[in-house]
Homo-oligomer: A and B are copies of this chain.
Amino acid sequence: MAVAQLSPSYTETRFLSSQLSSASTRLYSRRRQALRPSSKARNAKIVCSVAPNEVQAPITPQTKGTRNKPDCFGVFCVTYDLKAEEETKSWKKLINIAVSGAAGMISNHLLFKLASGEVFGPDQPIALKLLGSERSFQALEGVAMELEDSLYPLLREVSIGISPYEVFQDVEWALLIGAKPRGPGMERADLLDINGQIFAEQGKALNAVASRNVKVIVVGNPCNTNALICLKNAPDIPAKNFHALTRLDENRAKCQLALKAGVFYDKVSNVTIWGNHSTTQVPDFLNARINGLPVTEVIKDTAWLEKEFTEKVQKRGGVLIQKWGRSSAASTSVSIVDAIKSLITPTPKGDWFSSGVYTNGNPYGIAEDIVFSMPCRSDGNGDYELVKDVIIDDFLRERLKKTEAELLAEKRCVAHLTGEGNAYCDLPEDTMLPGEM
């Protein structure tokens, strides 16, 4: 990955943090905190719904070596020792998961799924680190209170904050959902700039304080280019650790193929969403399968496949807003869970999943140095590899070129945020998917 040219004020931080990478983790972590750019380092508020003098009888003994949890919330401020008890001593080591936009509706579904054990399994204790904004801070407290009241045994720590430099400390997963919605009259270029700035800062924060192998899933739109900005601002984290969420599109595409073929959706496999999470995205029917057969052998209506299928996938969010009056928070959070599970469980033999990933070294001839949704497989260790044996015919190639061109244009539009000089914005049209914020 090319190291991005970052703005001068962050140069020292990045230089020193890379020099420190062989130091002990604890020291490194402390130094990194000290080196954090001060203008951005507003401390996370410290919130505890029980005052220290109200705690009358700490039953669990204070365990030596328990790390500080300065921004913990309520009952999640108590110390605990998982190794001390029969039910928990076989559990895995706690993992830290950051969620941005934590007071929003997608997170309101996702956080409870993470806490329940549905995502990482029944022996994986988790710490949730909730990132919100100054404006949403009270709502963050409300979310943390509901997490308290849910009594999830696996949820051991919850902390809330508004500085990514605090919240991303040591996180192994960063689920970046928060983004500014598009206001009236706002162009896609404006949105790219406003949200790009958020993701540039979050990239810097991840680079400074997150686990060196943090996996990042960008949901906030425009997610492909936000993910690109984020990874460019995090040069010490492997670029392949960054994902833009196209899994909801994949899930919707599978459902539409199932409906058309008159089969249950579990019969549909090998569906790729190619390219940008926008109206130029390409739901791929050429490589998709139904009951193991190519979709084109099962659905003979080529006109439907070439036109209506893509429209149905893309218009789904808009139809949902019309019917339900809200955007699709529940199914989006399900697709985030699917995206995580696809990285931590081995992909079924012969199948794959879609994710927006960094294009360097891709075997499809797609331009390098962008984030493009492609077919991926994982052996379940958190990483993925690109699938090689896919067919690309002229019809598919032509559509890939269009979505690639859009992503290259978006990249030029945010050059000031990726350290590649002055931005030049020539986005031809509005390609926001209907029903998305």
Contact = CB atoms under 8 A, between A and B. Distances in A.
Interface of A: 49-50, 54-60, 74-75, 78, 80, 103, 108-109, 111-113, 116, 118, 138-139, 141-143, 145-153, 156, 248, 251-252, 254-255, 258-267, 290-291, 298-301, 316, 319-320, 322-325, 328-331, 334-335, 338
Contacts of A59: 261-263, 267, 290-291, 298
Contacts of A78: 258, 262-264
A330 B146 contact: yes
Given A55-B261, A56-B261, A145-B323, 4 more contacts: A56-B299, A74-B255, A75-B258, A139-B324
Contacts of A146: 320, 324, 328, 330-331
Nearest to A50: B259
Nearest to A48: B259
Given A59-B291, A150-B331, A334-B150, A75 B320 contact: no
B80 A141 contact: no
B251 A324 contact: no
Contacts of A116: 113, 118, 334
A335 B338 CA distance: 24
Contacts of A118: 116, 118
Contact of A138 (B324, B330, B335): B324
Interface centre among A248, A334, A338 (most CB of B within 10 A): A334
A254 B251 CA distance: 39
Interface of A is mostly: helix
Contacts of A103: 324
Contact of A49 (B54, B259, B329): B259
A57 B255 contact: no
Contacts of A328: 146, 149
Contacts of A260: 50, 54-56
B80 A298 contact: no
A114 to B, nearest CB: 12
17 contacts: A49-B259, A50-B260, A55-B260, A55-B262, A56-B262, A56-B301, A57-B261, A57-B300, A58-B261, A59-B298, A74-B259, A109-B109, A116-B118, A141-B323, A142-B324, A149-B255, A150-B331
A325 B74 CA distance: 20
B291 A334 contact: no
A108 B254 contact: no
A75 B138 contact: no
A263 to B, nearest CB: 5
Contacts of A150: 251, 330-331, 334-335
A182 to B, nearest CB: 22
A18 B73 CA distance: 55
Contacts of A323: 138-139, 141-142, 145
A266 B59 CA distance: 12
A210 B328 CA distance: 32
Nearest to A300: B56
Contact of A153 (B145, B255, B266, B329): B266
